[in-house]
């Protein structure tokens, strides 16, 4: 008989010497390989465009990265949920999710899609493609699984489920067992089920094992905490008055909120060359003076295209002010944008293909005039 240190059962690898959640090692490797293969394949066919690529990611990559999440998911969820808030009272779920290597695969995919090497703030990247870190998907799978176990009365799995709950209650959810981690996660989210006070242990097991989780309300809380930074009062400050102090959310989120708004560009077909200009612009990734601080004060980052030392070159200057692009800006009027339209209205206009073309032509003009100087 061959001696092995690891066995595979129902597609997951287990070993007596390693923690249970290490069964995600193989999923991580497979997911990463599949992601690069998918990118190559879509590129070769000219289909590496957001709408198609994101659908393919969900069906082909996310499904690998979530395989068996019903069982190992609670551990990774608890990594986010069971931590103290930071000094400013933020839950920091998003930041912690970014530290997860599986979410790293997701992030690499989105970055490749936006043709961006380094993203100033991943919040922008995820919002731009209307994506959420994998944890939210795992949470849905875990809570659905719980409810399935509740409904499976008198089955073997239901009896195991009851034992899980009993163990969790006996140890006040401290031990890293499945039931403890799910219940502790609910407690962190403020969704701990209201146990009648007068029940003994058996009564509490009965109570919990027949209680379905209200997935909608738990997910609502979870999502709210994930997007806490987008709801921050710091974002009410106008972008040009925003003073970067290292706190979160930062000025890029502020500019995105006031100038770019929610993305609408996935509704129409936009050729990728033009699309990339638009995406990079919205993400604050153009090499504008304001995006290349080099230790200079904001006032010193004036526009080198119109050479006006009073005009800081930021995204607003490019779209609304800079005289070098007056000709391109005329295109906005042709797309139905009146004289009084503000930047947010322009960036949110219905004809996103038209918008992308204008933004792209501005980029071309900018790089040619920067080349001359």
First to last CA, the chain: 74
Residue 338: CB minimum distance to Zn ion, A = 23
Using alpha carbons, select from 117, 109, 95, 94 the residue that is nearest to residue 53.
Answer: 109
Residue 351: CB minimum distance to Zn ion, A = 25
Residue 309: CB minimum distance to Zn ion, A = 11
Choice from 69, 105, 305, 346 touching Zn ion (CB under 5 A): 305
User: By CB under 5 A, what part of segment 179-238 binds Zn ion?
Assistant: none
Under 8 Å between Cβ of 23 and 72: yes
Nearer to Zn ion, 66 or 311 (CB): 311
Residue 281: CB minimum distance to Zn ion, A = 15
Transcribe 311-340 into DSSP letters: EE-SHHIIIII-GGGHHHHHHHHHTT--TT
Nearer to Zn ion, 228 or 313 (CB): 313
Nearer to Zn ion, 42 or 306 (CB): 306
Choice from 322, 328, 347, 355 touching Zn ion (CB under 5 A): 322
Regarding 320 and contact with Zn ion (CB under 5 A), the answer is: no
Nearer to Zn ion, 305 or 343 (CB): 305
3-state secondary structure of 35: helix
Residue 269 to residue 201: CA distance in whole angstroms: 59
CB atoms within 10 A of CB 206: 14
Transcribe 147-169 into DSSP letters: HHHHHSTTSHHHHHHHHHHHHHH
Residue 33 to residue 263: CA distance in whole angstroms: 29
Token reading at 30: 């497979």
Residue 266 to residue 356: CA distance in whole angstroms: 12
Under 8 Å between Cβ of 42 and 60: no
Residue 313: CB minimum distance to Zn ion, A = 6
Residue 311: CB minimum distance to Zn ion, A = 5
**Residues 6 or more apart whose Cβ sits within 8 Å of residue 232:** 248, 249
Nearer to Zn ion, 205 or 303 (CB): 303
Regarding 136 and contact with Zn ion (CB under 5 A), the answer is: no
Can you tell me which residue has the tokens 């004036």?
A: 302
Residue 286: CB minimum distance to Zn ion, A = 13
Nearer to Zn ion, 55 or 330 (CB): 330
Choice from 103, 116, 303, 328 touching Zn ion (CB under 5 A): 303
Q: Looking at 137-145, 245-253, 304-312, 353-361, which segment touches Zn ion (CB under 5 A)?
A: 304-312
Nearer to Zn ion, 306 or 349 (CB): 306
* Binding characters for Zn ion, 229-258, by CB under 5 A (x = yes): ------------------------------
Nearer to Zn ion, 49 or 306 (CB): 306
Q: Looking at 5-13, 191-199, 296-304, 352-360, which segment touches Zn ion (CB under 5 A)?
A: 296-304
Under 8 Å between Cβ of 127 and 263: yes
Regarding 306 and contact with Zn ion (CB under 5 A), the answer is: yes
3-state secondary structure of 7: strand
Residue 325: CB minimum distance to Zn ion, A = 8
Total interface residues for Zn ion by CB under 5 A:
4
Residue 275: CB minimum distance to Zn ion, A = 24
Phi, psi of 109 (to 5 degrees): -60, -45
Q: Looking at 108-116, 121-129, 317-325, 357-365, which segment touches Zn ion (CB under 5 A)?
A: 317-325
Residue 308: CB minimum distance to Zn ion, A = 6
Using alpha carbons, select from 358, 349, 279 the residue that is nearest to residue 53.
Answer: 279
Residue 88 to residue 191: CA distance in whole angstroms: 23
Nearer to Zn ion, 265 or 366 (CB): 366
Residue 84's Cβ-side half-sphere holds a number of Cα atoms within 13 Å equal to 3
Binding site for Zn ion (CB under 5 A): 303, 305-306, 322
């Amino acid at each position: 008989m061959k001696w092995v240190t690891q066995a595979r059962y129902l597609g997951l690898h287990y070993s007596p010497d390693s923690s249970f959640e290490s069964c995600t090692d193989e999923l991580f490797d497979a997911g990463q390989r599949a992601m690069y293969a998918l990118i190559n394949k879509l590129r070769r066919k000219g289909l590496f465009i957001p709408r198609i690529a994101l659908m393919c990611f969900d069906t082909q990559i996310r499904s690998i990265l979530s395989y068996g999440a019903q069982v190992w998911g609670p551990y990774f969820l608890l990594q986010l949920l069971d931590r103290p808030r930071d000094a400013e009272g933020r839950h920091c779920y998003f930041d912690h999710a970014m530290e997860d290597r599986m979410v790293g695969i997701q992030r690499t995919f989105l970055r490749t899609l936006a043709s961006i090497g380094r993203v100033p703030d991943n919040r922008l990247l995820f919002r731009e493609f209307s994506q959420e870190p994998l944890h939210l998907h795992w949470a849905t799978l875990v809570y659905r699984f719980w409810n399935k176990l509740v409904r499976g009365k008198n089955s073997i799995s239901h009896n195991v489920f009851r034992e899980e709950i009993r163990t969790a209650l006996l140890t006040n959810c401290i031990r890293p067992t499945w039931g403890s981690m799910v219940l502790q996660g609910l407690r962190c989210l403020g969704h701990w089920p209201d146990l009648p006070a007068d029940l003994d242990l058996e009564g509490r097991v009965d109570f919990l094992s027949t209680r379905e989780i209200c997935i909608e309300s738990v997910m609502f809380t979870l999502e709210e905490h994930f997007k806490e930074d987008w709801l921050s009062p710091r974002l009410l400050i106008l972008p040009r008055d925003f003073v970067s102090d290292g706190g979160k959310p930062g000025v890029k989120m502020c500019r995105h909120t006031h100038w770019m708004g929610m993305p609408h560009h996935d509704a129409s077909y936009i050729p990728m060359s033009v699309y990339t200009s638009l995406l990079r612009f919205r993400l604050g990734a153009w090499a504008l003076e304001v995006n290349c601080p080099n230790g200079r004060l904001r006032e010193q980052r004036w526009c080198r295209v119109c050479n006006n030392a009073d005009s800081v070159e930021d995204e607003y200057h490019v779209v609304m002010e800079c005289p070098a692009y007056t000709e391109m800006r005329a295109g906005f009027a042709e797309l139905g944008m009146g004289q009084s339209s503000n930047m947010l209205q322009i960036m949110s206009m219905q004809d996103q293909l038209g918008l992308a073309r204008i933004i792209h032509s501005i980029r071309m003009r900018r790089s040619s005039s920067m080349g001359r100087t």
